[in-house]
């Protein structure tokens, strides 16, 4: 998996960069979880993750990386 140095702003962009655009849900979730282990999603990506049903992955990320003010 190769991801550009810029922060993807949408789930579809991130999945395309990960080569997972047409993967099943199980593989998609695993790829997103793996990406979140070493990257911090910006506000636009966080919104996109929530809007596309991946909000649970953000809860896991936030539990591992607590911050003072995370409203999105």
CA separation for the pair 50, 72 (Å, rounded): 9
**Residues 42-70: pLDDT tens digits?**
999 999 999 999 999 998 888 887 775 55
Q: How far is CA 15 from each of CA 21, 41, 47, rounded to the nearest angstrom?
A: 5, 13, 15
What are the sequence ranges of the domains in the chain?
Answer: 11-64
Which of 64, 21, 71 shows the shortest CA–CA distance to 40? Answer: 64
pTM of the model: 0.79
């Amino acid at each position: 998996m190769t991801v550009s140095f810029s922060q993807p702003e949408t789930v579809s962009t991130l999945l395309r960069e990960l080569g997972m655009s047409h993967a099943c849900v199980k593989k998609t979730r695993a790829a997103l979880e793996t990406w979140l282990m070493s990257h911090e999603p910006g506000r636009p990506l966080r919104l996109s993750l929530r809007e596309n049903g991946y909000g649970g992955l953000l809860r896991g990320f936030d539990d591992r990386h607590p911050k003072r003010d995370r409203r999105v």
